[in-house]
Amino acid sequence: MQADRYYYLSALPALGGLGSVAPIGAAHLLEHVGEETKRGKLFGTVFLLNDLLEREAFLAGEIEEVSPVVLTVQQSRNEASLPEFLAPQLEGDLDSLEADRLWERYFHHAAEMGRTLGSPLLVRWAGYEAALRNALAEARAKRLGIEGASYRVGDDLPDCEEDFSGMLSEWAAAETPLAGLRVVIRARWDWLGMNDAWFSFSEDELVAYAVRLMLLEQWRRSMHEEEQTAAGTA
C-alpha cells in the first residue's frame, strides 16, 4: 500500500551527499526489513551488485577480506556455489569471459526483479549499470589494444545508450585508480538524481534509497583505502 510505503520511507534516516557518513549500514537495513519481504528483495537486488564487486576484487587479489550483505562469505570467496540465478547456464560454462557472463546474468536478474516487484527504476538502473560497465570495459580494452566488443553485457537492457564520453575523459585523467573510481561513483550518483522518482512514495524510492546508501559506502571505502595507501608510502 502507498500509505505504508509513505510511513516507511519517512521513517528511514536521511542520507547526505557523497562524502557524508551513511546513517545505517546496508546489512542492518536488509536485516531490519527481512530478506524475503518485498522491500528486502528490492534492497537485496541492489546490494548484490556491491557483493559481486567485492567478490571480484577478492578473487583478483585486490582485497583480503569480504563483508557481503546478500552473498555468504563462502560464496564471496568462491568456496561455495552462487545462487542459482547467477550460476552458469550450462555445465562447463567457465571460459575466460565467465566474469562478464556473471555480470550479464546479474543485470538481467535485476531487471527481472524490477519488473516483478513493480519498480521501473530498478529495470532502468540495471540497464544503466550494464552500460556503464560496458563503457569502462571498452575504454580499458582500447588502452590495452584489444577488442572490447566481446566484453559487453546486457546490450538488450533499457538505458544502455548513455553518453559516457565526459565521464570517461575525467576517469582516464584521474591521478589514481581510487580517484578514478570516485569519478564513476559520482556519475552513478548523478544519474540517480535525475531518475529517482523523488516523492513518488513508490517502490522506486526504496530502490533509490538502497542505491544511494550503497554509493555512500563505496565512496567512504575508496577514501579509506586512499588514506591507507598514502600512510603506507609516507
pLDDT at 233: 64
Using pLDDT thresholds of 50, 70 and 90, give the confidence band for residue 91.
very low
pLDDT at 101 over 80: yes
- Cα pseudo-dihedral 144, 146, 147, 148, rounded to 10: -20
For the cut 90, the answer to whether the pLDDT of residue 144 exceeds it is no
Q: Within a domain: residue 66? A: yes
Q: Tell whether 119 is covered by a domain.
A: yes
Q: Judge whether 11 lies within some domain.
A: no
How sure is the predictor about 93, in pLDDT bands with cuts at 50, 70 and 90? very low
* Residue 77 within a domain: yes
**Over 70: is that where the pLDDT of 199 sits?**
no
Q: Which residue spans within the chain are E strands per DSSP? A: none
Task: Say whether pLDDT at 67 is over 80.
Answer: yes
Average pLDDT rounded to a whole number, residues 203-230? 91
Q: Tell me, yes or no, whether 4 lies in a domain.
A: no
- CB 9, CB 39: distance < 8 Å: no
Dihedral Cα 179, 164, 44, 28, nearest 10 deg: 30
Whether residue 3 is contained in a domain is answered as no
- Cα 190 to chain centroid distance, Å, stands at 14
Q: Could you tell me the pLDDT band of residue 155, with boundaries at 50, 70 and 90? A: confident
Q: With respect to residue 9, please indicate whether it lies within any of the assigned structural domains.
A: no
pLDDT at 234: 56
Enter the C-alpha cell of residue 13. 534516516
pLDDT digits (tens, 9 = 90+) for 23-41: 999 999 999 888 889 999 9
Query: Grid coordinates standing for 41?
Result: 528483495
Print the domain residue range for 170. Answer: 23-233
State the total domains in the chain. 1
Q: What are φ and ψ of residue 159, in 5° steps?
A: 60, 30
